[in-house]
Structure 1
Amino acid sequence: MSTSEKRTEQRAVIKFCAMSGMTPTDTWKFLNQKEGVHNCSRTLVFDWHKRFREGQTEITDSARSGRPGNDQRLIQDVKDVIAKDRRKSIDYIPPGFVIELLLTDENKATRVDASREFLRRCDRDGERFLRRIITTDETWVNFYVPESKRESMVWKRPSSPPPQEGENMQAGKESYVVRGDLTNAIRKKRAGCDVENFIFHQDNAPAHRADETLLTIDFLGYERLRHPPYSPDLAPLDFCVFPRLKADLRGRSFDTEDEIKYAVRSAIRSYTPEWYADIYRKWVQRHSKCIEHNGDYFEKA
């Protein structure tokens, strides 16, 4: 029996139990009473039991828009550009040329709708709306990232010896979560502020969409700001903060996780309030650009 067939059979049993009046716990015990037959997780049983009790009749997954598709014509166009000049970098390929057509019509419509909603609130509440937003994300920081060729270029005399190439180093990784104890951090930085009045923004990474994450945000009393899928160009940390942070850390070597954390915190604290405020202004401009381009990816705002 294939995985798909087994999943369908499990849901059929869960539906029967739910319609028979059995509780989620009893349904789970019933499914797992004989090892290897209908074994499935408690979370799955409770989720589907709730769906059937609320009126769902289908035992198959709902249709999804899926990831943006690959356009074969576009792929060939990119190959043609590279074939003409194999030294051409991504920076010199026309902006949006590579990824513009990979978004589905549904993806683009969702991006436009989210941008219009964002701008409506900006028009209505102005700076007050932007000041309420807390945006957060995670990124990877390597123990060592070598400088690029361009960054490591230096002026030489004709008689100077050729530059020595450094040894390749395997970069270890540590995950650095920008968001920590958020509520306490806000109270420390903004004494007397109404924490429950803030709006929480993050992208659509799986960890951010997890039920536990969303319930925690709701429990803290934050409003959740809508973010369209496949839109790193509309996430301030992705389009501005992380690129600068990683550029500042490139070429530096760290021996311990504590050294990485100290370097990251020092860099973030060195950026001026005016620089951070300008990011929010660029964020507004990017939402306008998104609408102008009918949801397609666009050039830098």
Structure 2
Amino acid sequence: MDEKKRIRERLLHEFQLGHTAAEAARNIKKALGDNALDESTARRWFTKFRTGDFSTDDGFRSGRPSTFETEPLRAAINENPATSTRKLAEELGSSKDTVWRNMKEMELSYRSGRTVPHDLNEQKRQKRVEICRTLLQRQQTSPFLDQILTCDESWILYDNRASEKQWLAVGQDANATPKQLHPKKQLLSVWWCVHGIVYWELLPLNRTITSEVYCEQLHRVQQQLRRPPYTVWARKGILFQQDGARPHVSAVTRKKIEDLGWDILEHSPYSPDLAPSDYYLFSPLKDFLRGKQFSNEEEICTALKNFFDSKGPEWYRKGIEKLPNLWERCIQCNGNYFYE
């Protein structure tokens, strides 16, 4: 048996012991010397072994193969989906272009993983399903979407510029975007329904919501509901939908909502994907603000008013009327987060 064959047999033994390619390379070099093999060769053979082919014959070349085999590529990707085409090319003894071409033929794409708002355990997922099922059954027997008044908050930055790629001539420097360690911002609170924006306001700079502040806001919302065009609508009864933030669910706030005569619409905890402002209103608002800079609160208020006024009643209605479909999706996904 020649020396290379012996090394390949050792690699197979290391693989069967459950060692990684890097560990195998270190063990073999420790026994046979640093020049026995390099780690990239070990990775290529380990990729082959992962396909179920345990032959150590020299038919598997450490150089670039004349015909590309997709199974070793698939095995390498399954082991590490975050790997790069450069690393795959090194492991498979091929070129980046060949790897890329075969990945496209396999209909693979390189995408970032999604972030989710919370880590949902079984209890939280089940709670989401139960609430969505209750709301869906209620809507089917006695439609109530037209009565929903929904509320949420979002930070509005004074500087909404972001670092973006730019087309530049040779030697030309890209425009720099300074990093903001403590960005200047104000909290937007907004209440809306199928007819449009009922009320919105900005809190003073860097101020956050407390139960007392929230109750004062609710009083101002009630005053707005007593004015046209919401007077007749509010007489049908308000179903108030809000998330479970502490200021929203404190005893003081619950008493205030009771005094206002509003009914609370049950909302699934940890569920921005089921909150109209999160899944519908805030995303286009952020798109509208992207790239803009404001020097004072008045400029922000003007921009917000322009955005809210640019959307007709049918647009706001569409956002609320998405809810039944989203409740169904949540049930179908067993309470897991879902994406449209």
| Map of 1:140 onto structure 2 | 155
Q: 1:149 Cα deviation (Å)?
A: 2.2
- Structure 2, unmatched stretches of 5+, are 1-78, 87-109, 192-216
| Map of 1:10 onto structure 2 | none
- Structure 2 counterpart SS, 1:203: coil
| Map of 1:54 onto structure 2 | none
Determine the C-alpha separation between the residues in 1 that align with 2:118 and 2:157: 32
Q: Sort the Cα spacing of 1:163 and 1:279 in 2 relative to 1 into closer, same or farther, 3 A.
A: farther
Determine the C-alpha separation between the residues in 1 that align with 2:320 and 2:139: 11
Q: 1:101 Cα deviation (Å)?
A: 9.3
Q: 1:81 Cα deviation (Å)?
A: 3.8
> Is this contact kept in 2: 1:196–1:222, CA < 8 A?
no
| Map of 1:267 onto structure 2 | 307
Q: Residue type matched to 1:109 in 2?
A: Q
Q: 1:283 Cα deviation (Å)?
A: 1.9
Residue of 159, 163, 176 corresponding to 1:166: 176
Residue 189 of structure 2 corresponds to residue 177 of structure 1: yes
- Structure 2 counterpart SS, 1:111: helix
Q: Sort the Cα spacing of 1:161 and 1:263 in 2 relative to 1 into closer, same or farther, 3 A.
A: farther
Q: How does 1:63-78 map to 2 (within 5 A)?
A: none
Q: 1:82 Cα deviation (Å)?
A: 3.6
Q: 1:290 Cα deviation (Å)?
A: 0.2
Q: 1:102 Cα deviation (Å)?
A: 2.7
Q: How does 1:14-93 map to 2 (within 5 A)?
A: 80-84=80-84, 92-93=111-112
Q: Matched residues, percent identical?
A: 30
Residue of 320, 326, 331 corresponding to 1:280: 320
> Is this contact kept in 1: 2:148–2:238, CA < 8 A?
yes
Determine the C-alpha separation between the residues in 2 that align with 1:274 and 1:251: 27
- Structure 2 counterpart SS, 1:219: helix
Determine the C-alpha separation between the residues in 1 that align with 2:136 and 2:271: 16
* Number of equivalenced pairs: 210
Residue of 218, 224, 231 corresponding to 2:258: 218
Determine the C-alpha separation between the residues in 2 that align with 1:141 and 1:197: 31
- Structure 2 counterpart SS, 1:178: strand
Q: Sort the Cα spacing of 1:234 and 1:101 in 2 relative to 1 into closer, same or farther, 3 A.
A: closer
Q: 1:258 Cα deviation (Å)?
A: 2.3
- Structure 2 counterpart SS, 1:137: strand
| Map of 1:202 onto structure 2 | 242
Q: 1:145 Cα deviation (Å)?
A: 1.5
- Structure 1 counterpart SS, 2:145: helix
| Map of 1:253 onto structure 2 | 293
RMSD over aligned CA atoms reads: 2.9
Q: Sort the Cα spacing of 1:82 and 1:118 in 2 relative to 1 into closer, same or farther, 3 A.
A: same
Residue 283 of structure 2 corresponds to residue 243 of structure 1: yes
| Map of 1:115 onto structure 2 | 132
Q: Sort the Cα spacing of 1:192 and 1:276 in 2 relative to 1 into closer, same or farther, 3 A.
A: closer
> Is this contact kept in 2: 1:200–1:224, CA < 8 A?
yes
| Map of 2:119 onto structure 1 | 102
Q: 1:256 Cα deviation (Å)?
A: 1.1
TM-score w.r.t. structure 2 length? 0.55
- Structure 1 counterpart SS, 2:338: coil
> Is this contact kept in 1: 2:136–2:327, CA < 8 A?
yes
- Structure 1 counterpart SS, 2:244: coil
> Is this contact kept in 2: 1:111–1:290, CA < 8 A?
yes
| Map of 1:190 onto structure 2 | 230
| Map of 1:14 onto structure 2 | none
Q: Sort the Cα spacing of 1:296 and 1:164 in 2 relative to 1 into closer, same or farther, 3 A.
A: same
> Is this contact kept in 2: 1:141–1:173, CA < 8 A?
yes
Instruction: Tell which deviates more after alignment, 177-186 or 106-115.
Output: 177-186
